[in-house]
Structure 1
Amino acid sequence: FANTSEQDWDLVVKVHLKGTYCCTMPVWKWMKDNGKPGTIIMTSSTSGLYGNFGQSNYGAAKAGIYGFMRVLSIEGRKYGIRVMGLAPGAFTRMTSDLPGFRDKEPDAMALPENIAPGVLYMASDLAADHTGKVLGVSSRGVREIKMVQTDGFQPGRPYTAQDVAEHAAEVFFPAAAEKTAASA
Protein backbone atom coordinates (compact mmCIF):
# COMPACT_ATOMS: atom_id res chain seq x y z
CA PHE A 1 0.00 0.00 0.00
CA ALA A 2 2.73 2.44 0.94
CA ASN A 3 4.19 2.18 -2.58
CA THR A 4 0.86 2.92 -4.30
CA SER A 5 0.64 6.49 -5.50
CA GLU A 6 -2.67 8.31 -5.38
CA GLN A 7 -2.60 8.41 -9.18
CA ASP A 8 -2.21 4.61 -9.35
CA TRP A 9 -4.98 4.20 -6.78
CA ASP A 10 -7.35 6.40 -8.78
CA LEU A 11 -6.53 4.68 -12.06
CA VAL A 12 -7.18 1.17 -10.74
CA VAL A 13 -10.44 2.22 -9.03
CA LYS A 14 -11.51 4.02 -12.22
CA VAL A 15 -10.81 1.00 -14.43
CA HIS A 16 -12.45 -1.63 -12.23
CA LEU A 17 -15.17 0.04 -10.15
CA LYS A 18 -16.14 2.95 -12.38
CA GLY A 19 -15.68 0.75 -15.46
CA THR A 20 -18.21 -1.68 -14.00
CA TYR A 21 -20.59 1.20 -13.37
CA CYS A 22 -20.14 2.54 -16.91
CA CYS A 23 -20.86 -0.88 -18.46
CA THR A 24 -23.78 -1.62 -16.13
CA MET A 25 -25.68 1.68 -16.24
CA PRO A 26 -26.81 1.64 -19.89
CA VAL A 27 -27.81 -2.04 -19.71
CA TRP A 28 -29.67 -1.51 -16.44
CA LYS A 29 -31.46 1.55 -17.80
CA TRP A 30 -32.47 -0.25 -21.01
CA MET A 31 -33.77 -3.31 -19.15
CA LYS A 32 -35.72 -1.17 -16.68
CA ASP A 33 -37.11 1.33 -19.21
CA ASN A 34 -38.16 -1.39 -21.65
CA GLY A 35 -39.55 -3.82 -19.09
CA LYS A 36 -37.02 -6.45 -20.18
CA PRO A 37 -35.93 -8.71 -17.34
CA GLY A 38 -32.45 -10.13 -17.59
CA THR A 39 -29.19 -10.79 -15.86
CA ILE A 40 -26.19 -8.56 -15.29
CA ILE A 41 -22.96 -10.30 -14.32
CA MET A 42 -20.15 -8.28 -12.72
CA THR A 43 -16.59 -9.49 -12.30
CA SER A 44 -15.14 -9.19 -8.82
CA SER A 45 -12.05 -10.94 -7.49
CA THR A 46 -10.95 -12.97 -4.51
CA SER A 47 -8.40 -10.17 -4.02
CA GLY A 48 -11.31 -7.96 -3.03
CA LEU A 49 -13.44 -10.59 -1.33
CA TYR A 50 -10.69 -12.22 0.77
CA GLY A 51 -7.83 -9.75 0.41
CA ASN A 52 -4.43 -10.25 -1.17
CA PHE A 53 -1.06 -8.84 -0.15
CA GLY A 54 0.10 -5.90 -2.27
CA GLN A 55 -3.22 -5.31 -4.01
CA SER A 56 -4.96 -2.69 -1.86
CA ASN A 57 -6.18 -0.58 -4.79
CA TYR A 58 -7.31 -3.55 -6.90
CA GLY A 59 -8.84 -5.30 -3.89
CA ALA A 60 -10.73 -2.17 -2.82
CA ALA A 61 -12.13 -1.70 -6.33
CA LYS A 62 -13.19 -5.36 -6.59
CA ALA A 63 -14.75 -5.26 -3.11
CA GLY A 64 -16.65 -2.16 -4.24
CA ILE A 65 -18.05 -4.18 -7.13
CA TYR A 66 -19.40 -6.68 -4.58
CA GLY A 67 -21.25 -3.89 -2.76
CA PHE A 68 -22.53 -2.44 -6.05
CA MET A 69 -23.76 -5.88 -7.14
CA ARG A 70 -25.54 -6.52 -3.83
CA VAL A 71 -27.40 -3.20 -3.91
CA LEU A 72 -28.43 -3.56 -7.57
CA SER A 73 -29.63 -7.12 -6.92
CA ILE A 74 -32.02 -5.73 -4.31
CA GLU A 75 -33.19 -2.88 -6.58
CA GLY A 76 -33.45 -5.20 -9.57
CA ARG A 77 -35.97 -7.58 -8.00
CA LYS A 78 -38.70 -5.01 -8.68
CA TYR A 79 -37.87 -5.07 -12.41
CA GLY A 80 -36.96 -8.73 -12.89
CA ILE A 81 -33.29 -7.84 -13.23
CA ARG A 82 -30.94 -10.35 -11.63
CA VAL A 83 -27.44 -9.21 -10.75
CA MET A 84 -24.68 -11.67 -9.94
CA GLY A 85 -20.93 -11.57 -9.45
CA LEU A 86 -18.10 -13.73 -10.71
CA ALA A 87 -14.83 -14.22 -8.84
CA PRO A 88 -12.78 -16.14 -11.39
CA GLY A 89 -9.51 -17.89 -10.75
CA ALA A 90 -8.07 -18.41 -14.20
CA PHE A 91 -4.65 -18.67 -15.80
CA THR A 92 -4.49 -15.57 -18.00
CA ARG A 93 -1.88 -13.09 -19.16
CA MET A 94 -2.53 -11.13 -15.97
CA THR A 95 -1.97 -14.11 -13.67
CA SER A 96 0.71 -15.96 -15.65
CA ASP A 97 3.50 -13.86 -14.13
CA LEU A 98 2.40 -14.29 -10.51
CA PRO A 99 4.51 -16.38 -8.13
CA GLY A 100 3.47 -19.99 -8.39
CA PHE A 101 2.43 -19.61 -12.04
CA ARG A 102 5.65 -18.37 -13.62
CA ASP A 103 7.35 -20.86 -15.93
CA LYS A 104 4.67 -23.48 -15.33
CA GLU A 105 2.18 -25.10 -17.60
CA PRO A 106 -1.29 -24.04 -16.47
CA ASP A 107 -3.66 -26.52 -14.88
CA ALA A 108 -6.23 -27.30 -17.59
CA MET A 109 -9.02 -26.52 -15.12
CA ALA A 110 -7.60 -23.01 -14.65
CA LEU A 111 -7.98 -22.01 -18.30
CA PRO A 112 -10.60 -19.35 -19.09
CA GLU A 113 -12.73 -21.80 -21.08
CA ASN A 114 -13.31 -23.68 -17.82
CA ILE A 115 -14.62 -20.51 -16.18
CA ALA A 116 -17.19 -19.96 -18.94
CA PRO A 117 -19.70 -22.66 -17.83
CA GLY A 118 -20.12 -20.84 -14.51
CA VAL A 119 -20.88 -17.61 -16.35
CA LEU A 120 -23.28 -19.41 -18.68
CA TYR A 121 -25.04 -20.87 -15.65
CA MET A 122 -25.47 -17.41 -14.06
CA ALA A 123 -26.80 -15.90 -17.31
CA SER A 124 -29.22 -18.75 -17.97
CA ASP A 125 -32.62 -19.64 -16.59
CA LEU A 126 -30.86 -22.38 -14.62
CA ALA A 127 -29.96 -19.65 -12.09
CA ALA A 128 -33.38 -17.95 -12.22
CA ASP A 129 -33.78 -18.29 -8.44
CA HIS A 130 -30.47 -16.56 -7.71
CA THR A 131 -29.52 -12.92 -7.53
CA GLY A 132 -27.05 -10.96 -5.41
CA LYS A 133 -24.65 -13.87 -5.22
CA VAL A 134 -21.02 -14.31 -6.20
CA LEU A 135 -19.88 -17.48 -7.88
CA GLY A 136 -16.23 -18.37 -7.31
CA VAL A 137 -15.01 -20.43 -10.26
CA SER A 138 -11.47 -21.78 -10.47
CA SER A 139 -9.44 -24.95 -10.72
CA ARG A 140 -10.59 -25.64 -7.14
CA GLY A 141 -14.21 -25.87 -8.28
CA VAL A 142 -17.40 -23.82 -8.22
CA ARG A 143 -18.66 -22.27 -4.99
CA GLU A 144 -20.61 -19.34 -3.62
CA ILE A 145 -18.57 -16.65 -1.92
CA LYS A 146 -20.44 -14.45 0.50
CA MET A 147 -20.14 -12.07 3.40
CA VAL A 148 -21.34 -13.59 6.67
CA GLN A 149 -21.80 -12.39 10.21
CA THR A 150 -21.72 -13.98 13.62
CA ASP A 151 -24.65 -13.88 16.05
CA GLY A 152 -22.64 -11.40 18.12
CA PHE A 153 -23.88 -10.31 21.52
CA GLN A 154 -26.81 -8.09 22.50
CA PRO A 155 -25.78 -6.02 25.50
CA GLY A 156 -29.25 -4.51 26.02
CA ARG A 157 -27.61 -1.37 27.39
CA PRO A 158 -24.84 1.02 26.39
CA TYR A 159 -21.71 -1.12 26.20
CA THR A 160 -17.99 -0.60 26.62
CA ALA A 161 -14.94 -1.77 24.75
CA GLN A 162 -14.34 -4.11 27.69
CA ASP A 163 -17.79 -5.66 27.14
CA VAL A 164 -16.84 -6.35 23.52
CA ALA A 165 -13.58 -7.93 24.65
CA GLU A 166 -15.43 -10.14 27.15
CA HIS A 167 -17.79 -11.33 24.38
CA ALA A 168 -15.14 -11.69 21.69
CA ALA A 169 -15.92 -15.39 21.23
CA GLU A 170 -19.48 -14.40 20.23
CA VAL A 171 -18.48 -11.37 18.16
CA PHE A 172 -15.72 -12.91 16.05
CA PHE A 173 -15.44 -16.11 14.06
CA PRO A 174 -12.76 -18.48 15.37
CA ALA A 175 -9.35 -17.84 13.77
CA ALA A 176 -9.45 -21.30 12.17
CA ALA A 177 -12.64 -20.33 10.29
CA GLU A 178 -10.96 -17.16 8.96
CA LYS A 179 -7.99 -19.15 7.68
CA THR A 180 -10.32 -21.62 5.96
CA ALA A 181 -12.27 -18.82 4.24
CA ALA A 182 -9.12 -17.03 3.10
CA SER A 183 -7.65 -20.17 1.56
CA ALA A 184 -10.86 -21.06 -0.33
Structure 2
Amino acid sequence: MTTSPLKGGPTQPEVCAVALNKLGVQKDDIAIDIGCGTGTVSLAIADTARHVYAVDIRPEAIETARENIRSNGCTNITLVEGDAINLINDMDRIDVAFIGGTQGLTGMLTLLAEKRVRSIVVNAVLIETASSAIQTMKSLGIFQEAVLLQVSRSYDLLGKTMFKPINPIYIIHGGVVPC
Protein backbone atom coordinates (compact mmCIF):
# COMPACT_ATOMS: atom_id res chain seq x y z
CA MET A 1 0.00 0.00 0.00
CA THR A 2 1.32 3.41 -1.02
CA THR A 3 0.89 6.44 1.19
CA SER A 4 0.39 9.90 -0.19
CA PRO A 5 0.20 13.43 1.16
CA LEU A 6 -2.75 14.05 -1.20
CA LYS A 7 -6.21 14.28 0.32
CA GLY A 8 -7.92 10.99 -0.40
CA GLY A 9 -4.60 9.22 -0.99
CA PRO A 10 -4.09 6.51 -3.58
CA THR A 11 -6.89 4.17 -4.60
CA GLN A 12 -6.48 1.00 -2.57
CA PRO A 13 -5.32 -2.04 -4.62
CA GLU A 14 -8.47 -4.05 -3.90
CA VAL A 15 -10.71 -1.15 -4.91
CA CYS A 16 -8.62 -0.56 -8.03
CA ALA A 17 -8.97 -4.23 -9.01
CA VAL A 18 -12.78 -4.15 -8.81
CA ALA A 19 -13.02 -0.77 -10.57
CA LEU A 20 -10.76 -2.01 -13.40
CA ASN A 21 -12.83 -5.16 -13.77
CA LYS A 22 -15.99 -3.08 -14.15
CA LEU A 23 -14.22 -0.66 -16.53
CA GLY A 24 -13.29 -3.53 -18.87
CA VAL A 25 -10.27 -1.85 -20.48
CA GLN A 26 -9.31 -3.31 -23.86
CA LYS A 27 -5.99 -3.28 -25.72
CA ASP A 28 -6.79 -0.51 -28.22
CA ASP A 29 -8.72 1.73 -25.78
CA ILE A 30 -8.23 5.43 -25.28
CA ALA A 31 -8.93 6.09 -21.61
CA ILE A 32 -9.41 9.09 -19.37
CA ASP A 33 -8.76 9.13 -15.61
CA ILE A 34 -10.63 12.09 -14.15
CA GLY A 35 -9.28 13.27 -10.81
CA CYS A 36 -6.17 11.14 -11.29
CA GLY A 37 -4.67 12.02 -7.89
CA THR A 38 -1.55 9.90 -7.38
CA GLY A 39 -1.85 8.24 -10.80
CA THR A 40 -2.47 4.79 -9.31
CA VAL A 41 -5.54 4.07 -11.46
CA SER A 42 -3.94 5.66 -14.54
CA LEU A 43 -0.98 3.28 -14.22
CA ALA A 44 -3.30 0.28 -13.84
CA ILE A 45 -5.34 1.30 -16.90
CA ALA A 46 -2.14 1.95 -18.89
CA ASP A 47 -1.14 -1.71 -18.46
CA THR A 48 -3.85 -2.57 -21.01
CA ALA A 49 -5.05 0.57 -22.81
CA ARG A 50 -3.32 2.10 -25.80
CA HIS A 51 -3.26 5.52 -24.12
CA VAL A 52 -4.48 7.17 -20.92
CA TYR A 53 -5.20 10.86 -20.37
CA ALA A 54 -4.89 11.58 -16.65
CA VAL A 55 -6.40 14.87 -15.53
CA ASP A 56 -6.52 16.63 -12.18
CA ILE A 57 -7.22 20.22 -11.26
CA ARG A 58 -4.73 20.15 -8.36
CA PRO A 59 -1.09 20.96 -9.23
CA GLU A 60 0.15 18.82 -6.31
CA ALA A 61 -1.78 15.83 -7.67
CA ILE A 62 -0.24 16.26 -11.12
CA GLU A 63 3.24 16.45 -9.59
CA THR A 64 2.63 13.32 -7.49
CA ALA A 65 1.20 11.44 -10.49
CA ARG A 66 4.12 12.59 -12.68
CA GLU A 67 6.62 11.15 -10.19
CA ASN A 68 4.70 7.86 -9.86
CA ILE A 69 4.39 7.50 -13.65
CA ARG A 70 8.08 8.29 -14.14
CA SER A 71 9.21 5.87 -11.42
CA ASN A 72 7.09 3.12 -13.04
CA GLY A 73 8.61 3.80 -16.48
CA CYS A 74 5.18 4.25 -18.07
CA THR A 75 5.13 6.04 -21.44
CA ASN A 76 1.48 5.85 -22.53
CA ILE A 77 0.00 8.35 -20.07
CA THR A 78 -0.48 12.05 -20.80
CA LEU A 79 -0.91 14.23 -17.70
CA VAL A 80 -3.21 17.23 -17.95
CA GLU A 81 -3.53 19.83 -15.22
CA GLY A 82 -6.91 21.50 -15.40
CA ASP A 83 -10.65 21.04 -15.70
CA ALA A 84 -11.75 17.62 -16.94
CA ILE A 85 -14.69 19.10 -18.87
CA ASN A 86 -12.27 21.00 -21.12
CA LEU A 87 -10.22 17.86 -21.77
CA ILE A 88 -13.32 15.75 -22.49
CA ASN A 89 -14.56 18.40 -24.93
CA ASP A 90 -11.19 18.39 -26.73
CA MET A 91 -10.98 14.61 -27.11
CA ASP A 92 -12.25 13.01 -30.31
CA ARG A 93 -12.41 9.51 -28.85
CA ILE A 94 -12.84 8.11 -25.35
CA ASP A 95 -13.51 4.40 -24.92
CA VAL A 96 -13.38 4.15 -21.12
CA ALA A 97 -13.56 6.74 -18.35
CA PHE A 98 -12.66 6.40 -14.69
CA ILE A 99 -13.94 9.16 -12.42
CA GLY A 100 -12.29 9.49 -9.04
CA GLY A 101 -12.67 13.26 -8.79
CA THR A 102 -16.35 14.08 -8.66
CA GLN A 103 -16.45 17.88 -8.89
CA GLY A 104 -18.89 18.67 -11.71
CA LEU A 105 -19.97 15.01 -11.90
CA THR A 106 -23.33 15.57 -13.60
CA GLY A 107 -21.78 17.61 -16.40
CA MET A 108 -18.98 15.09 -16.89
CA LEU A 109 -21.38 12.14 -17.07
CA THR A 110 -23.61 14.01 -19.51
CA LEU A 111 -20.68 14.83 -21.77
CA LEU A 112 -19.29 11.28 -21.59
CA ALA A 113 -22.72 9.91 -22.55
CA GLU A 114 -22.89 12.34 -25.49
CA LYS A 115 -19.44 11.11 -26.58
CA ARG A 116 -20.82 7.53 -26.42
CA VAL A 117 -18.17 6.27 -23.99
CA ARG A 118 -18.42 2.48 -23.77
CA SER A 119 -17.62 2.13 -20.08
CA ILE A 120 -17.66 4.64 -17.23
CA VAL A 121 -16.75 3.91 -13.61
CA VAL A 122 -17.29 6.37 -10.79
CA ASN A 123 -15.63 5.69 -7.43
CA ALA A 124 -17.38 7.55 -4.62
CA VAL A 125 -16.88 7.63 -0.87
CA LEU A 126 -19.96 9.76 -0.17
CA ILE A 127 -23.50 8.38 -0.30
CA GLU A 128 -24.65 11.63 -1.89
CA THR A 129 -22.08 11.32 -4.68
CA ALA A 130 -23.06 7.70 -5.32
CA SER A 131 -26.74 8.68 -5.40
CA SER A 132 -26.05 11.55 -7.80
CA ALA A 133 -23.99 9.29 -10.10
CA ILE A 134 -26.69 6.60 -10.15
CA GLN A 135 -29.54 9.06 -10.76
CA THR A 136 -27.63 10.93 -13.46
CA MET A 137 -26.62 7.71 -15.23
CA LYS A 138 -30.21 6.45 -15.05
CA SER A 139 -31.55 9.69 -16.52
CA LEU A 140 -28.98 9.41 -19.34
CA GLY A 141 -29.88 5.75 -19.96
CA ILE A 142 -26.33 4.56 -19.25
CA PHE A 143 -26.58 3.07 -15.72
CA GLN A 144 -25.50 -0.57 -15.43
CA GLU A 145 -24.86 -1.29 -11.74
CA ALA A 146 -23.62 -0.05 -8.38
CA VAL A 147 -21.34 -1.99 -6.05
CA LEU A 148 -20.65 -1.26 -2.38
CA LEU A 149 -17.16 -2.50 -1.59
CA GLN A 150 -15.87 -2.93 1.94
CA VAL A 151 -12.27 -4.05 2.38
CA SER A 152 -10.58 -4.97 5.65
CA ARG A 153 -6.88 -5.69 6.15
CA SER A 154 -5.31 -7.93 8.74
CA TYR A 155 -2.88 -6.64 11.33
CA ASP A 156 -1.17 -8.02 14.38
CA LEU A 157 -2.75 -7.46 17.77
CA LEU A 158 -0.82 -9.01 20.65
CA GLY A 159 0.40 -11.87 18.48
CA LYS A 160 -3.09 -12.55 17.10
CA THR A 161 -4.67 -11.47 13.83
CA MET A 162 -7.37 -8.83 13.67
CA PHE A 163 -8.99 -7.08 10.72
CA LYS A 164 -9.21 -3.31 10.41
CA PRO A 165 -11.76 -2.00 7.91
CA ILE A 166 -10.97 0.58 5.26
CA ASN A 167 -13.73 3.09 4.48
CA PRO A 168 -16.33 1.57 2.16
CA ILE A 169 -16.49 2.78 -1.43
CA TYR A 170 -19.27 2.88 -3.98
CA ILE A 171 -18.34 1.80 -7.49
CA ILE A 172 -20.93 2.94 -10.01
CA HIS A 173 -20.70 1.50 -13.51
CA GLY A 174 -22.35 2.67 -16.67
CA GLY A 175 -21.68 3.36 -20.30
CA VAL A 176 -23.16 3.42 -23.74
CA VAL A 177 -24.04 -0.07 -24.90
CA PRO A 178 -23.12 -0.49 -28.59
CA CYS A 179 -26.07 -0.98 -30.94
Given the two structures, how large is their TM-score scaled by the length of structure 1? 0.24
Between Structure 1 and Structure 2, the one with more helix by share is 1
Given the two structures, how large is their TM-score scaled by the length of structure 2? 0.25
